[in-house]
Amino acid sequence: MSSILSAAVTILEFVIAFSLLMFFHEFGHFIVSKAFGIEVEEFGFGFPPKLVNLFKFKGTQISLNWIPFGAFVRPKAENDPTVKGGFAAANPWKRLSVFLAGPAMNLLLGIVIFSVVFSLSGAPNFRKVQVLQVNSGSPAQTAGFQVGDQITAVAGQTITSMDQVSTITKLHLGQQIQVTILRGTTTLTLTIIPRLVSPTGEGPMGLVMTNPVMQLNFFQAVPYSVQLTGDTIVQVVTLPVKLIRGELSSSQARLVSPVGLYDIFSQVRASAATAEANHPGLAMLNILWFFANISIILGISNLLPIPAVDGGHILFLLPELLFRKRVPSNWENAVHTIGFFLLILLMTFLLVQDIVNPVVLP
């Protein structure tokens, strides 16, 4: 019975958290529409059929719907440019801003969540390199490296990243070089000869590097969160290229449905819960980290030029923005309708795939 209750709680947590991500996406559309004077007829929690109308807010009906997953915004006259105050009648730049606002809200939310995590756990200082492990019998052990040493220079070059250490070291294999370290408050210079051939799983020097963790408040963490969000965007955008090049397997680049996302979430939650005894608060931080990444992925995926999502609508706005020539609404509606049904088919396929072949983290 306890396992059933635990599964139910996990499902509830996932539904609430994922719905909040979708809520903030729609809230972005809503507030920008309001800011530009575009009337919004309804803001719905969940998806239809409608359960009940809750109240009105500045002319917008706030409703609660039967499908408790996400939210939606219904602007006035979305496809009829003849209706004054409606969405379709608005300036194309205003409509572009509304379409961009949803994905932008997801990206902003990802930055905020990352900042919360960093303010609670600390953030890696990517410009500093620290020794995490010294392998037994390695050149690093012979040279006298110790765990906690900060590498400040290699072969006379100031160090600002782990990649830089690796690159310089590979240029001096089999050669004697000097490495400057900071041990506590003492600066030392160690002499090492990076080996030409390394044991499996070890590098030429035989040490494992890391970035030291800095304690930050929320506002100090924001720049690091912005950088991490940018790195995440690059990783997602370059996935197809890596897949084509064979740098990723098809399983690593697999598309998933909400069921697949739940499978990943449940495994992340279970893994963090196991380590919770030794690291209090780890489960919550891992969950926040997971949903920060999902929020960013939602933002990016909604910007793709696919019919029926924000990116698809933006694509149809380009002729109007560039040439002041509007795509006929019946053409656009037909493409979005077809695109919507194709997305439903894709989601159905992914749903079946995730049920028959559940996602398992490595």
CA dihedral 15, 18, 21, 26 (to 10 degrees): -60
Q: Residue 278: what pLDDT? A: 62
- CA dist 173 and 171 (Å) reads 6
pLDDT at 193: 95
Which tens digit of pLDDT belongs to each residue from 111-132? Answer: 999 999 999 988 888 889 999 9
> Pick from 130, 147, 187: which is nearest to 178 by CA?
187
CATH number of 129-211: 2.30.42.10
| Span 61-103, pLDDT tens digits | 999 998 877 889 999 988 888 899 899 899 999 999 999 999 9
Q: What integer pLDDT is reported at residue 127 of this predicted model? A: 84
CATH 2.30.42.10 range(s) for the chain read: 129-211
| pLDDT recorded at residue 99 | 96
State the pLDDT at residue 231.
87
Provide the pLDDT for residue 94. 95
**DSSP letters spanning 248-305:** S-TTTT----HHHHHHHHHHHHHHHHHHTTTSTTHHHHHHHHHHHHHHHHHHHHTTSS
Task: Compute φ and ψ for 66, nearest 5 degrees.
Answer: -70, -35
Give the separation between CA 73 and CA 65, rounded to whole angstroms.
Answer: 12
> Residues in the chain with pLDDT < 50?
1
The pLDDT assigned to 47 comes to 86
pLDDT (0 to 100) of residue 214: 87
Q: What is the pLDDT of residue 26?
A: 94
pLDDT on residue 151: 96
